[in-house]
Amino acid sequence: MAQKLLLMAAGGTGGHMFPAQSLAETMLARGWRVKLSTDARGARYTGAFPEAVEISEVSSATFARGGLLAKALVGPKIAGGVLSMMMQMRRERPDAVIGFGGYPSIPALGAATLLKLPRMIHEQNGVLGRVNQIFAKRVAGVACGTWPTALPDGVPHEHVGNPVRSAVMERAGAGYIPPGDYPMSLLVMGGSQGARILSDVVPGAVAALPEAMRQHLRVSHQARSEDLERVSAFYAEHGINADVQTFFNDVPSRMSEAQLVISRSGASSVADISVIGRPSILIPFAAAAGDHQTANARGLVDANAAVMIPESALDVPALAEHMGAILSNPQAATQMSAAALSAGVPDAAERLAALVEQLAEEG
């Protein structure tokens, strides 16, 4: 019997690429061939993808960036991408096509729609992204990563959760060491774009903690390259043990060692926090489309696993107060850790894989 082929299409951020990577790992283990269609930005996230995944870069474009000329070229660029994908699909017909969102998923989903191939989308956030909005009514269904997800009326959907990478699964439910008067770890993550506001506020909030607590803290802080120097300097000047980098390749192991995580509430960050099971302070990105990061945070907040601080309310005293409250209360921190686990969907990749196989069978 010929090996079945899955074509995945995903855009250029970690939020789209990490669930695609997780599904690829799962489908390969189920004996499928897997292809990924992305753009140059997305290709930066493919370093940890399994070698067996066949990766192709496709011509796509966004209306969101660039001047008038760039915008005028968007239509022809997307049309070219769709045509080339149609030719590829005619040469080798995928048994199923899944889009994870982002502009680079337009050519594959557009071609699959025109050729009437079995197709679906996975939406990571509690609000549909722009591209997934376009295709929601043109696919067999929407697999939802966050629940609830706001969807157009009449669109078939199923809550599967957000698939996490195997490196996160290896740490799923890792034992939690509650905060105390011994070495403690704090993980600060701004998502794939990094976050200036976290670099502006978190170091000051750490410095404002009581000395007895602060002396035990080790901070892992992910910052944008332009903020790296000033953040490192601030921690050093205040005698705070901190490792500041633009990107951590070992987020799962740092998270499993952390007593507290301070993070944006991007879908994949929320999924990692809940599968590993850690107390968190979430600061939704205010400019996120449809305020989807607030929607993403709601599950952990409602489960009493996280504190959410809107950007408008984020300052040094407020953050220091919330950090201090969690790090000085081992019992509450342990309860938050268990509550995060209860909100997690560790088998999301298996659930999504089952939907893909069902889609291919129904063809």
What is the per-residue pLDDT across 114-133, written as a single tens digit (0 to 9) for each?
A: 999 999 999 999 999 999 99
pLDDT of residue 291: 87
pLDDT of residue 195: 83
pLDDT of residue 194: 57
* Two structure tokens written together for 258: 């952390």
- What distance in Å separates the CA atoms of residue 76 and residue 360, rounded to the nearest whole number? 31
Residue located via tokens 């909030």: 205
pLDDT of residue 39: 85
pLDDT of 219 over the 70 cut: yes
- What distance in Å separates the CA atoms of residue 254 and residue 273, rounded to the nearest whole number? 11
* CA-based radius of gyration for the chain: 21
pLDDT of residue 46: 86
pLDDT of residue 289: 80
Q: Binning pLDDT at 50, 70 and 90, where does residue 271 land?
A: very high
Q: Binning pLDDT at 50, 70 and 90, where does residue 69 land?
A: low
Window from 208-212, 242-246, 286-290, 349-353 with minimum mean pLDDT:
286-290
* Average pLDDT value for residue range 247-254: 92
**What CA dihedral angle connects 83, 87, 93 and 97, to 10 degrees?**
-20
* Average pLDDT value for residue range 305-313: 96
- What distance in Å separates the CA atoms of residue 352 and residue 301, rounded to the nearest whole number? 25
pLDDT of 266 over the 60 cut: yes
pLDDT of residue 203: 98
* Average pLDDT value for residue range 336-358: 97
pLDDT of residue 72: 53
Domains defined for the chain, CATH in brackets? 5-164+346-362 (3.40.50.2000), 169-343 (3.40.50.2000)
Q: Residue 249 contacts by C-beta under 8 Å, 6 or more apart in sequence?
A: none
* Average pLDDT value for residue range 196-217: 96
- Residues 146, 179 contacting (CB under 8 angstroms): no
More confident site: 58 or 197: 197
pLDDT of 191 over the 80 cut: no
Report the predicted TM-score, pTM, of the whole model to 2 decimal places: 0.90
* Average pLDDT value for residue range 299-324: 97
Window from 73-82, 253-262, 272-281, 348-357 with minimum mean pLDDT:
73-82
- What distance in Å separates the CA atoms of residue 135 and residue 124, rounded to the nearest whole number? 15
148 preceded by cis ω (within 30°)?
A: yes
* Average pLDDT value for residue range 310-327: 97
Q: How many CB atoms lie within 10 A of CB 226?
A: 11
- Residues 104, 58 contacting (CB under 8 angstroms): yes
pLDDT of residue 75: 72
* Two structure tokens written together for 334: 């342990």
* Average pLDDT value for residue range 325-339: 98
- What distance in Å separates the CA atoms of residue 227 and residue 225, rounded to the nearest whole number? 5
* Average pLDDT value for residue range 216-230: 96
- What distance in Å separates the CA atoms of residue 60 and residue 78, rounded to the nearest whole number? 5
Alpha-carbon distances of 11 from 37, 89, 106, 141, rounded to whole Å: 9, 19, 9, 19
pLDDT of residue 12: 74
Q: At what angle do helices 14-29 and 267-276 cross, to 10 degrees?
A: 60
Give the mean pLDDT of the chain. 92
- What distance in Å separates the CA atoms of residue 311 and residue 288, rounded to the nearest whole number? 12
- What distance in Å separates the CA atoms of residue 222 and residue 202, rounded to the nearest whole number? 11
pLDDT of residue 174: 97
Task: List, for residues 10-38, the tens digit of each pLDDT value.
Answer: 987 778 899 999 999 999 999 999 999 99
pLDDT of 70 over the 60 cut: no
Q: Binning pLDDT at 50, 70 and 90, where does residue 62 land?
A: low
For the chain, percent of residues with pLDDT exceeding 70: 94
Geometric angle at alpha carbon 94, from 139 and 162, rounded to 5°: 55
Q: At what angle do helices 14-29 and 348-362 cross, to 10 degrees?
A: 70
pLDDT of residue 76: 74
DSSP 213-281: HHTTEEEEEE--GGGHHHHHHHHHHTT-EEEEES--TTHHHHHHH-SEEEE---HHHHHHHHHHT--EE
